[in-house]
Amino acid sequence: MNIKPIKTEQDYDNALKRVDELMEINPALNTPLSDELEILVLLIEKYEEKHYHIEAPDPIEAIKIRMQEMDLKQKDLVPYVGSASKVSELLNRKISLSLNMVVNLAQALHLSFEVLLSDKNRKVA
């Protein structure tokens, strides 16, 4: 195992290639190869956080995207938001997400609390 910090794109590409190789081997846990895989994944994640940082999406946009992915209509959100008019107001940014809505929508839409509580262009009511 010859692991070093990932400092360049070439280092990054090499680390990704090695992870692919190790994933093909599918090493047993608590072996030198599984340790190498775990360390490489951590190094890759750290490099990606620094060089490929992706900001959390706007909460309303995240809800809309997930609705599209799950083939949901506005009426499908009524049980989680409260009423059809509230769903419409929420999606049109006329009202803010309440804490109750955040909890319900996170569970129903499989969205993280972090995404729904991000402070982009809104406040939690």
Which structural domain, as residue segments, surrounds residue 85?
59-116
Averaged pLDDT for residues 66-90 = 96
Q: Is residue 125 domain-resident? A: no
Q: What is residue 119's predicted lDDT score, i.e. its pLDDT?
A: 67
Q: Are residues 65 and 104 in the same domain?
A: yes
Q: Is the overall model pTM greater than 0.75, yes or no? A: no
Q: Are residues 68 and 93 in the same domain?
A: yes
Q: Is residue 84 domain-resident? A: yes
Residue 6: CB atoms within 10 A of its CB come to 21
Report how far residue 80's alpha carbon sits from residue 75's, in angstroms, rounded to the nearest whole number.
Answer: 10
Residue ending a domain, among 33, 51, 69, is: 51
Report how far residue 96's alpha carbon sits from residue 4's, in angstroms, rounded to the nearest whole number.
Answer: 47
Cα 117-109-78 angle, rounded to 5 deg: 95
Q: Is residue 72 domain-resident? A: yes
Q: Are residues 85 and 43 in the same domain?
A: no
Q: Is residue 123 domain-resident? A: no
Q: What is residue 118's predicted lDDT score, i.e. its pLDDT?
A: 80
